[in-house]
Amino acid sequence: MSYFDKMSATWSDRYRRNGHFRKRLATALSWLEADSSQLQLLDFGCGSGVLIGELLALGHNVYGVDSSAGMIEQSKQRFKQNPLLSLELLTSDDFSGEYLRRTFDGIFCLGVIEYVDNAELLVKRLASVIKPNGFLVMSVPNQASLLRRVERFIYNQRQTFRYIPRFKHLTDKENYLQFQKHQFTRNSLNQLSETFGLVPRKYSYQVAPLLMNSLAGQAAIGMTLFVKYRKTEESGASG
């Protein structure tokens, strides 16, 4: 995860400056509002702790995990030894860790699943530690988005587009598409999640260029898909 280690020192600033990241954070928090007061929450792929900070401010107990040592260090420095927070660096490809010994009222997994080799195993792990009727909020690249296809085309032809400043984030030597392994439609993500007793309750499409922002809520346009799942009472998914 050297890419994310390199970005760890500036990750929190990116959230503050980037409107798409701010909206992602706002969506995650708005979907938390309907749940009860103090919760046991897991932030899987916690990064430098942007979401963690918001959850702690609301009085929740938070367990944050990440596979980037740089990101975990940023979170440690930011929150010092907050009694409501536990942090863990994951070092194995099968997502094993101490967090699997706990159970959670809710889990946030934002902008993570697209980078892992085994997405099915990750969802299985997460489902196994959600309490009955607990929730999982995920954000993923929307495979149905026409803009995602354009994005991939530019990336594949980056030698052609590298001199156009607005495409710099897609043509740089290191960018997120270099590490992205999966994209999902709403149906494909639901099929994966329902295997482990997770039932979709809410969804939202977001992220589009400024001139198309009014269309971002449509499946054919919005580049990011958000889904909130509930774990069924009878589910017995194990890790």
**pLDDT for 46 beyond 60:** yes
Distance between CA atoms of residues 126 and 11, nearest Å: 24
Q: How confident is the model at residue 11 (pLDDT cuts 50, 70, 90)?
A: very low
Q: Determine the pLDDT at residue 236.
A: 52
- Domain map (residue ranges) of the chain: 2-142+182-231
Q: Determine the pLDDT at residue 159.
A: 87
- For the stretch 106-128, pLDDT in tens is 999 999 999 999 999 999 999 99
Reduced to 3 states (helix: H, G, I; strand: E, B; else coil), residue 70 is: helix
* Superfamily of the domain at 2-142+182-231: Vaccinia Virus protein VP39 (3.40.50.150)
Give the rounded distance of the alpha carbon of 54 from its chain centre.
15
**pLDDT for 235 beyond 70:** no
**DSSP 8-state assignment for residue 118:** -
Q: Determine the pLDDT at residue 113.
A: 96
Q: How confident is the model at residue 229 (pLDDT cuts 50, 70, 90)?
A: very high
pTM value?
A: 0.88
Distance between CA atoms of residues 219 and 123, nearest Å: 23
